């Protein structure tokens, strides 16, 4: 079931139910990159689920330890001054509950309801998910019979019409940025998104529990129930396609693949990208853009301070730079490199030191965050000692064998592509000095960079 194409709809539904929980909604608003980098967020979520529900015990326990470290760093208060904590066992139980209920719902809506035995087996798998995380039994009901009253109670008594839920339903799909595969084709992507966004939103709302739809004041759109059932049925028919075509991780990898990558699938992607470009050119003949988009293959080109702030620094998409934005960078790097302790903590500490340096230098009004205007004024002074330290630590954790060179495999782990640059100090390697220089040039000089743009700026 892990690679069932219906999970695309079920995961959206589960995410909305998670975001409607006050604690989870607040954590998403404060810390998540789901607004500015939704494709990256989706891919990381799917990778984590694959690891947690895979057959390899070692991989599953390593991923559980990583999630626990990640959750330990997510706590705070919401706009109503209510505390939230991602390690709260009741909150984590609700996340698992939404996934289980959405799996059951996707089978029911697509005309293939689970039999009782299969449902109990699936519920046991999700209970095992929590057990692997180390959560004590009891926060998720012990039996399937007890689960449904628990689920209904949370839906009716605890869920709210949160800001995070509204963003997912009414903003995210309408403003969803193009995946890397379709970068440079804004007109074509916008045309498809204009149609698909409201449809996905309507399908998701129609699939939510009716008591919550009523209490949250979500609209009843005529025909939405029929549209929802048709979408689930159509997604279910995809199971008859060859297995390799519908693997979730394969599809998300494909969307994240750059057309100029050296990945074996790059030839196919490049051909597809060329076809899409031609289609985009035809659309532009009908509705020309006011200005041509920048060439995504162009390197070493200066970008404006506001564009760099929005695309790279403001990872959470709230219009400001603060600690959650830099923590998101550290989180992405740690995930790509599959870091364990203590390397992961070293990277977070380096970013925390950089945040303190930025806050001291740029936060002129003392509100605890940096605006785009504050950043633009002081941008020449960004390459301080703390940023240099970030580059040094990133080099160290990427250089797995400690030979003071980043080889082709280590480079690929970080950038997901092979060398496409003139490496300094030896064929097929990347030396410390060159690495630090390039990192600082990108992070403080605001220069476009073929490897670093996908790392931090891609959606």
Question: Are the CB atoms for 29 and 86 separated by under 8 Å?
Answer: no
Three-class SS state of 38: helix
Tell me the three state secondary structure of residue 370.
strand
Give the distance, in angstroms, between the CA of residue 302 and the centroid of all CA atoms in the same chain: 27
pLDDT at 431 (0 to 100): 93
What per-residue confidence (pLDDT) applies to 138? 77
Q: What is the pLDDT of residue 178?
A: 75
Domains of the chain listed by start with CATH number: 7-240 (no CATH), 305-456 (1.10.238.10)
pLDDT for the residue 294: 46
- What pTM value is reported for the model? 0.83
Cα separation, 54 vs 125, in Å, equals 11
258 vs 267: CA distance, rounded Å:
11
Nearest alpha carbon to residue 91 among 28, 16, 18: 18
Can you spell out the DSSP letters for 257-300?
--TT--STTHHHHHHHHHHHHHHHHHHHHHS--SSPPP-TT--S
Q: Tell me what pLDDT residue 195 has.
A: 76
Q: Cα separation of 152 and 147, whole Å?
A: 9
- pLDDT at position 287 is 54
Q: Can you tell me the distance from the alpha carbon of 261 to that of 263, in angstroms, rounded to the nearest whole number?
A: 5
Nearest-angstrom CA–CA distance, 127 and 296: 45
Task: Tell me which H or E stretch contains 371.
Answer: strand 370-371
Find the angle CA(42)-CA(347)-CA(449) to the nearest 5 degrees: 65
Tokens for 126, please give them.
């999700």
Contact 202, 227 (CB under 8 A): yes
Report whether the peptide linkage leading into residue 251 is cis, meaning its omega lies within 30 degrees of zero.
no
Round to whole Å and give the CA distance between 414 and 338: 10
Write down the residue that tokens 């220069």 correspond to.
447
Are 353 and 386 in contact, with CB atoms under 8 Å apart? Answer: yes
The alpha carbon of residue 397 and the mean position of all alpha carbons in its chain are separated, in whole angstroms, by 22
Helix ranges, 34-183 (H): 38-52, 57-72, 89-109, 116-133, 144-157, 163-167
Say what the pLDDT of residue 307 is: 85
DSSP H helical ranges for 314-456: 323-337, 343-362, 372-378, 385-398, 408-415, 432-445, 452-456
Residue 431 has phi, psi (to 5 degrees) of -80, 165
What does pLDDT average to in each consecutive run of 10 residues of the chain (459 residues)?
73 95 96 89 87 89 96 95 96 96 92 94 95 88 96 96 93 78 68 81 92 91 88 78 60 58 58 60 53 44 76 93 96 95 97 95 92 82 86 97 94 80 57 93 74 83
């Amino acid at each position: 079931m892990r690679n069932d194409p219906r999970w695309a709809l079920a995961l959206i539904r589960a995410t909305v139910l998670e975001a409607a929980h006050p604690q989870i909604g607040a954590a998403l608003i404060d810390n998540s990159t789901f607004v500015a980098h939704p494709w990256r967020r989706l891919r990381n979520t799917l990778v984590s689920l694959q690891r947690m529900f895979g057959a390899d015990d070692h991989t599953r326990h390593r991923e559980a330890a990583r999630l626990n470290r990640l959750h330990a760093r997510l706590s705070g208060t919401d706009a109503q001054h209510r505390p939230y904590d991602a390690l709260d066992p009741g909150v984590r139980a609700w996340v698992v509950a939404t996934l289980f209920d959405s799996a059951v719902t996707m089978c029911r809506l697509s005309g293939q309801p689970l039999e009782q035995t299969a449902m109990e087996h699936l519920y046991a798998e999700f209970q095992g998910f929590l057990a692997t995380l180390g959560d004590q039994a009891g926060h998720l009901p012990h039996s399937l019979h007890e689960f449904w009253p628990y689920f209904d109670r949370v839906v009716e008594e605890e869920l709210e019409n949160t800001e995070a839920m509204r963003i997912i339903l009414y903003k995210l799909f309408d403003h969803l940025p193009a995946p890397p595969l379709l970068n440079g084709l804004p007109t074509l992507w916008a045309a498809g998104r204009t149609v698909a966004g409201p449809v996905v939103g309507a399908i998701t709302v129609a699939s939510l529990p009716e008591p919550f739809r009523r209490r949250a004041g979500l609209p009843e759109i005529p025909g939405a129930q029929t549209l929802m059932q048709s979408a689930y049925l159509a997604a279910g028919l995809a199971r008859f396609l060859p297995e390799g075509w519908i693997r979730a991780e394969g599809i998300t990898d494909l969307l994240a693949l750059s057309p100029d990558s050296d990945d074996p699938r790059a030839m196919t992607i490049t051909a597809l990208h060329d076809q899409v470009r031609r289609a985009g050119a035809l659309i532009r003949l009908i509705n020309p853009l006011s200005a041509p988009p920048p060439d995504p293959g162009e390197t070493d080109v200066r970008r404006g301070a506001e564009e760099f702030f929005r695309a790279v620094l403001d990872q959470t998409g709230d219009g400001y730079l603060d600690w959650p934005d830099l923590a998101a960078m550290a989180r992405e790097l740690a995930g790509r490199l599959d870091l364990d302790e203590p390397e992961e903590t070293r990277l977070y500490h380096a970013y925390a030191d950089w945040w303190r340096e930025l806050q001291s230098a740029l936060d002129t009004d003392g509100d605890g965050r940096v605006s785009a205007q504050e950043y633009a004024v002081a941008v020449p002074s960004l390459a301080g000692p703390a940023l240099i330290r970030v580059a040094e630590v990133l080099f160290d954790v990427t250089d797995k064998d400690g030979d003071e060179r980043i080889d082709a495999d280590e480079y690929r782990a970080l950038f997901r592509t092979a060398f496409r640059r003139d490496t300094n100090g030896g064929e097929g390697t990347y030396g410390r000095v060159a690495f630090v220089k390039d990192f600082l040039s990108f992070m403080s000089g605001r220069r476009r960079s073929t490897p670093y743009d996908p790392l931090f700026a891609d959606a």
